[in-house]
Chains A and B, each alone.
Chain A
Amino acid sequence: MFAALKDKSTRDSAAQLGFVGIFILLIVVFGFTARSNLEAQGMTSGFGFLERATGWGISFSLIDFSTSDTYLKAIWVGILNSLFLGVIALTLATVLGVAIGVMRVSGNKMAQLIATTYVEIFRNLPLLLQVFFWYAILTTLPRPRDFADATGPIFFTGRGVYLPGLNVTGLSVFLVFAALVVTFGLWIWLKSARKFARVSMSQKKTRARGIWITWLVLSAGLLWWGRIPDSSLVSQPFLKGLNFREGIRISPELMACIVSISIYGGAYIGEIVRAGFNAVGKGQSEAGHALGLSQFQTFVYIRLPLAIRAVLPTLINQYVWLFKSTTIGIAVGFVDFFMVISTSINQSGQTLELIAILMGGFLVINYSMAWVLNRVNDAIKLKGNQLRT
């Protein structure tokens, strides 16, 4: 017995077995306790409840949802809403962040001052506080009925922001966006993949133009196909009675989430972008100047592409992190994935199953997001001795 303990490999195996064993034991104990607790409460476990009708409505949904729809569909609505919020907020955060990052490295002290103030204020306040703040601001805007003699395409009211929209089906809009993503991917691929290294610059340009024109034609066709019959193509919101009709209404909940996540994320991304610009050696832009490029050309063709490549890995982590923060939608009542799950738990009592779905959903979303972005990173990152300072 003691002789066996002296042998290192035996000890190692025992340690590993013990470690993994403790984990399995914990899970088994949890499982059995859960089972006996559930039995005591007379509940049945399993995923059968997903087929039941929910009996509650969802205030914001990209697909049709009614109270007689199933839990499965409600969860799907939640996931779509989360992705919707995530895509909008992350895009805006990126735009803001790049602008702020550029301002911080620009030679202009005034721009630096503004950008630094922005970053220091919004990065140092909790996201939740910002969501509450914007929500309070947005819901205390004037009521729609106060807009009786206001004109303009956009109305900021306490019940939401009203924008002009298109009278088309959701499916066609989705297809247009999907086509945009595919086109963008193709464009990046064409620009940077090894495969096209020998294709000449002008030929690449022609091809890129071809790709984008195809997208434009395709989306025009898709929108035309998706028209809702017997209505004008553009729908402009107008006041009727106490509220606005037609157009697109962005609820204060969604708006507060979008505004706060993009502002908060913009501050973080701004810092990342700044670090990226600082990582690009001074020699690079000096070489650009020496070749006779203007300040602007040096920036667009040399510093920006190099900076993006330098920061992409950090940016990927930031995106995953920001996407997780969309769960704060529950604080103001935006029905995202997390809120659907928590409402379902309250209503159906199937706690364990729903939590498993929540965690599984986030694992899948985050891992696939990281996977896609890492592929993009692999495609455009500098290889070998390309990175010089």
Chain B
Amino acid sequence: MAKTYHPPSVIEAIRADYFSTRLNSVVTVTFATFVAWAIWQLVNWGLINATFSEENKDACGHGAGGACWAVIDARWRLVLFGLYPFEEQWRSGIACVAIVITGILSCVPWFWNARRLSGLWVGGFLVFYILMRGGILGLTPVFEQNWGGLSLTIFIFATTTLLGMPLAIVFALLRRSELPWIARTMGVVIDTIRSLPLLSIMFTFAIVLPFVLPGWMIGDKLYRVIVGYALFFACYQAEIIRGGMQALSPGQEEAAKALGMGYWHRIGYIVLPQAFRNALPPTINQLVITFKETSLVVIIGFFEILASGNAAYGNADWNFAHVEVYCFVGFIYFIFVFALSRYGAHLERRMAVAQR
């Protein structure tokens, strides 16, 4: 009688996954014990023994053995909004939401062409900027020096990518140029900037640039740092786009040439759309890294979310609560970065299916 296939039962599946050999069983048991212990400790610390509201503040602190989430209860506004005026903080909040919605909308395939995507982002960014800066529509003006917390992080990230993306395309095209001197000069510039640490670039733009620029070009320190960051981003992104272009079969461009298309038509309608498609997963990865590395502006002296987190526990009342504050700040970063990187992984899978 022929054996018929029957799907493995739950027990069989568990055995195959966890206890297939003696070594595997030992590994499973050891790791499971460790995981159980870690989860127990975490729950104990974060939930059972923890203090949640500011009123019970005295209960937490030294030797209580649990997390003191009261610090978040008391200081979350400082962490999220920094030095933004208290009465106007709703604007900062809505501005963040506007950018997040813009980000979510740009994941919708309907927006996936250059005109709609750039329109969406310019629009979203304008809403953000008007809300934050004020000065029109009856909103009181709040200057950049008072921006802080999450909205400053998002502002730096959004301006960097909005400035950097077009720049990256220009850099990639120049580096691929048929004219050797243009390609070579661009190559040297890109490789040099890529081999420098981001921190040194930001530092140079913040501290050194005022020395070498004529007075009218200096501008605000925040914008100088953003320009430096955008340049750095553009150099990395240019290499990613160039990689996407190289993955394109040369026949595509040759066919376009044969049809008599000019340079700009070839680039705009044939090369770039396909190159971007190829380069999408590494681009998302680069955006993830860029978002995380906005935290470096703390060192240059800006009050973004990590710095406001430092400030939140940096007074006598809360100086023991650093772990809780960092957990909170880390959680906020994690939501953004994790969502973005999951989306990148999703795109990668989708494209892998499409190319099969």
Contacts and interface: CB of A to CB of B under 8 A. Distances in A.
Interface of A: 12, 15-16, 19-20, 23, 29-31, 33-34, 37-38, 106-111, 113-114, 120-121, 123-129, 132-133, 136-137, 140, 295, 320, 324-325, 327-328, 330-331, 338, 342, 345, 351-352, 355, 358-359, 362-363, 366-367
B214 interface: yes
Interface string B226-269: 00000000000000000000000000000000000000000000
B150 to A, nearest CB: 13
Residue from A20, A124, A328, A345 having most chain B Cβ neighbours under 10 A = A124
B306 A126 contact: yes
- The majority secondary structure among interface residues of chain A is helix
A125 B333 contact: yes
B185 A136 contact: no
Contacts of A111: 27-28, 31
A162 to B, nearest CB: 23
Contact of A108 (B27, B174, B322, B338): B27
Contact of A20 (B181, B197, B292, B341): B181
Interface of B: 17-18, 20-21, 24, 27-28, 31-32, 34-35, 174, 179-182, 185, 192, 195-200, 203-204, 207-208, 211-214, 288, 292-293, 295-296, 298-299, 306, 310, 320, 322-323, 326, 329-330, 333-334, 337-338, 341
A124 B208 contact: no
Given A128-B306, A362-B197, A362-B200, A109 B212 contact: no
A330 B199 contact: yes
Nearest to B319: A140
A16 B182 CA distance: 6
B184 to A, nearest CB: 9
B79 to A, nearest CB: 12
Contact of A351 (B20, B211, B296, B326): B211
A110 B196 CA distance: 40
B313 to A, nearest CB: 8
A108 to B, nearest CB: 5
B207 A345 contact: yes
Contacts of B180: 16
B198 A324 contact: yes
A1 B166 CA distance: 34
A19 B178 CA distance: 13
Contacts of A128: 295-296, 298-299, 306
A12 B179 contact: yes
A133 B323 contact: yes
Contact of B337 (A124, A320, A359): A124
Contact of A109 (B18, B196, B320): B18
22 contacts: A16-B180, A30-B212, A34-B211, A107-B24, A109-B17, A114-B35, A120-B338, A125-B334, A125-B337, A126-B306, A126-B333, A127-B292, A132-B306, A133-B330, A136-B322, A137-B323, A324-B196, A327-B197, A327-B200, A342-B203, A352-B212, A355-B204
B28 A33 contact: no
Contacts of B299: 128, 328, 330-331
Contact of B197 (A107, A109, A338): A338
B295 A362 contact: no
Contacts of B198: 324
A15 B182 contact: yes
A285 B243 CA distance: 32
Given A129-B330, A362-B196, 7 more contacts: A38-B211, A129-B306, A132-B310, A295-B21, A359-B192, A359-B196, A363-B196
A26 to B, nearest CB: 10
B35 A113 contact: yes
Nearest to A30: B212
Given A30-B212, A110-B28, A124-B337, A325 B306 contact: no
A23 B181 CA distance: 12
B211 A125 contact: no
Nearest to A26: B212
A370 B251 CA distance: 33
A15 B179 CA distance: 9
Given A137-B323, A331-B299, A110 B32 contact: yes
A362 B295 CA distance: 21
Contact of A110 (B35, B199, B306): B35
A259 to B, nearest CB: 14
B200 A133 contact: no
Contacts of B196: 324, 359, 362-363
A362 B211 contact: no
List the 5 closest pairs (A to B, CB-CB), nearest first. Answer: A136-B322, A30-B212, A324-B197, A16-B181, A126-B292
A128 B180 CA distance: 40
Contacts of B31: 108, 110-111, 113-114
B326 A129 contact: yes
Contacts of B208: 351-352, 355
A140 B199 contact: no
Contacts of B326: 129, 132-133, 136
A110 B30 CA distance: 9
Contacts of A114: 31, 34-35
Contacts of A367: 195
Contacts of B288: 124
Given A108-B24, A126-B295, A320 B195 contact: yes
Most A C-beta atoms less than 10 A away, residue of B204, B299, B323 = B299
B103 to A, nearest CB: 16
Nearest to B212: A30
A125 B291 CA distance: 10
Contacts of B20: 107
A301 B197 CA distance: 38
A317 B214 CA distance: 37
Contacts of A20: 181-182, 185
B180 to A, nearest CB: 8
B249 to A, nearest CB: 22
Contacts of B35: 110, 113-114
A252 to B, nearest CB: 13
A124 B182 contact: no
A222 B197 CA distance: 36
A125 B330 contact: yes
Contacts of A19: 174, 179, 181-182, 185
A30 B181 contact: no
Contacts of A331: 298-299
Contacts of A327: 197, 199-200
B160 to A, nearest CB: 15
B185 A129 contact: no
A366 B306 CA distance: 29
B22 to A, nearest CB: 12
